[in-house]
Structure 1
Amino acid sequence: MELVGLLPVTRVVSLTPRMKRVSFRAPDGFVGWPDQQLKLCFPRASQEMPLLPASSGDDMRWYQEFLAIPEDTRPWMRGFTVRAFSPSRAELDIDFVLHGDSGPATRWALTAAPGQVLGRYGPSEIYRRPLAAGDWYLFAGDETALPAIGTLLESLPSARTVGFVEVHDAGEEQPLPAVRWLHRSRGESLLAAVRAATFPPGSVSVWLAGEAGVVRALRRHLVADRGIPKNRIDFAGYWRRRLTQDDAPTAEDLAEAQERVAQAAGG
């Protein structure tokens, strides 16, 4: 499968008041796996489809060519998780959290319709990372982590799993097993719930994602207070409070990225 291409929209469904599922025609040769990441490229207001570099070579070369596109015509690029892939339908599903109309992805998703087209880079097998084996599995995240948590839970049907997901209210809950739902509308928070939780015995494999500051605080708690080794915690800051993906990385962002690279390399 080519790493670069276009994704035509085939169906759009509202899952909850704040979550919309968009189905796309899958590229030829597409293969799915849990927690599968790719980059979506959203066209500028004057474009029917995004302008993409012709090259589909290595990551660095393609990204350099992408940045060489003049800013006023360069697509907005955002990272997403593939929620599901159906070989029989030749479709892949991607869920969009509707944060309002402040960002390009949400603005696009609010009016998404069959026939529209996005660009993509990926997914690449290079970024496929199986979870560490454990006696049980801990998942914690907010609504932006729901697509990944859903695929991971579905890949572990017989494993012992504990999940915490923070959403706005009960209307945002989805049919997932072994998940404790936390509602911000009632003052509940992901960090407080994990801190107060009683964990099962045995070795644990941890997966964390969501707002970067919350993920960092969760990870510090699990390492310092629970004694969980860092190499048993898979973590990702999907978004940053008061900052977008177009803003420069903070010192904490850079340190986190370096640690994730070292952890993936076995360091």
Structure 2
Amino acid sequence: MDNENLSQHISKQFNQDLENVREEVLAMGGLVEEQLTKALEALSSQDIKLAKEVIETDDRVNDFEINIDEACVKILAKRQPAASDLRLVSTVLKTITDLERVGDEAEKIARMAVEIAEAKEESPLSGKLHFGSLQHLGGLVKSMLHDALDSFARMDTESAVKVAKKDKDADKEYDAISRELMTYMMEEPRNISQVLDFMWAARSLERIGDHAHNICEYIVYLVRGQDVRHLSWDEIHRLVKNRN
């Protein structure tokens, strides 16, 4: 094999290695999305069996993180990527950390669903609390996660900026839910334990919005080569527009 063919072979294999880890990130993201969807359904329907499915899925999410991490380390050791390829590997490593944490939050929501379901018969508070606000917040952060992953798949910075800006809406909804639940606790101090389950579930959803926001920042860094963590999203939007 001459040098030209050898160089081409190495390049093709390198590209395949990078594509493989990118596809694994999207597969991991799909699993985490499914985990979140089921956790929200379990919370709404108080389905203990479904909640336990979510909890059991967390091991698969962790396996994804470990395997992708190992693949990235091998790429760094064997290929010594530079410039945009190095940014891709760095983005992948950061993204899978956030996805694993989304999985952890989905698991927490599922555990809260179990506790709420088991306490339903013994607490008069269950008749007062409703799941509408939580489900609305859940729908918002679930769409943020889905759209962030779609932006990652398409390397679409404009879409990433739009998704990230929704994090402010998620924060406002979380604050409103927290105020509502604080009112319940003051009215019925004996039901503080159950109210806290709702509050922790809402907090997990707010954090999932934060992780989707983080993934969007990584996408801008990957495509534009600029760390935007300490810029406002208006500044980031101008950066993206000016370079198109």
- Fold shared per TM-score above 0.5: no
**Structure with more contact order per residue of length (Cα contacts < 8 Å, sep ≥ 6):** 2
TM-score (normalizing by structure 1):
0.25
TM-score (normalizing by structure 2):
0.27
More strand by share: 1
More helix by share: 2
Higher gyration radius (CA)? 2
